[in-house]
Amino acid sequence: MPKPTKSKRRDQMSEKSPHQENERELTLDDLFEILGNPHRREIIKLLSQEERYAFELAKLLNISQRAVTKHLESLSRLQLVTTREVPSNQGPQRKYYALDTGWILSISIGPKVYQTIVKEIWAEPEEELIQRITDEIRRGKTIDILWNAINEFIRIDEEIQRIEDKKIALLRKRTSYAEAIDQAFSQLGFDSTQREILRILIEHNGSMYLTELADHIQGDLDTLKEAIEILQKQEIIMVTWLSPNEARIAIQNS
């Protein structure tokens, strides 16, 4: 039985919540909630291979169908899966689940570095490419098509690895630079709060609001304001007060 494309699966969804009408947005917490459960990880892995129904997933995972259904409901709520119902000769319609999109989660953690990236990576297949492959298969070039796919996947994977290696090298360089700045300011007598303020300002292109700064720094607001005042007196930063509790903090122009 041919499988529907992503757009067709969306048209066949049995239910749509108001949230699903809006632009898709998956947060880091959402992905942690999903990936933190081993059964959900296995369900995603199985659905990445092909669409399946709940009883089939329960048998493959050796857990109850009720447990599988609860996991699928969580994935549906986060818009990771869609459903379609197919008539069955053995009873009521069978509900199939399929991954509706793909995501990349990248986390970089280390001294002076904490970066997270959550991006959707789904791409619709090009109709022109589908037609070209279909025509080649009809002309008896199935083996050629398969080997072309193997070589293309190898090329893509090698390029991804090259980019990942470059990313690691750049993050190491960034970490080294940040550590050097922090140690230099420490040797000059700047306390931890002052150094943290400067580090965060660097990471945010030199300026941000006081309330944003406070969200990034552990400690009370009075300590933060005291550190800001010292840096201002040293003419390292500029402070523009917008209200008693809000100000624009910026590194001085060179």
Domain 6-105 shares a fold with domain 190-251: yes
107: β partners: 116
Query: Is residue 162 over pLDDT 70?
Result: yes
102 has a pLDDT exceeding 90? no
Lowest mean pLDDT among 22-26, 146-150, 233-237, 238-242: 22-26
Q: 3 — phi, psi (to 5°)? A: -90, 140
Please tell me the predicted confidence (pLDDT) of residue 16.
39
The 10s digit of each residue's pLDDT in 105-149 is 899 988 888 888 988 888 888 999 999 999 999 999 999 999 999
Q: What is the Cα–Cα distance from 61 to 98, expressed in whole angstroms?
A: 17
Domain ranges of the chain: 6-105, 126-185, 190-251
Tokens linked to 180? 């050097």
pLDDT tens by residue, 39-73: 999 999 999 999 999 999 999 999 999 999 999 99
SS3 132: helix
Phi, psi of 12, rounded to the nearest 5 degrees: -95, 5
For 190-251, CATH gives 1.10.10.10
| CA–CA distances in Å: residue 112 to residues 132, 171, 207, 238 | 49, 10, 18, 24
CATH numeric code, 6-105: 1.10.10.10
Q: DSSP assignment, residue 244?
A: T
Token match 């750049």: residue? 170
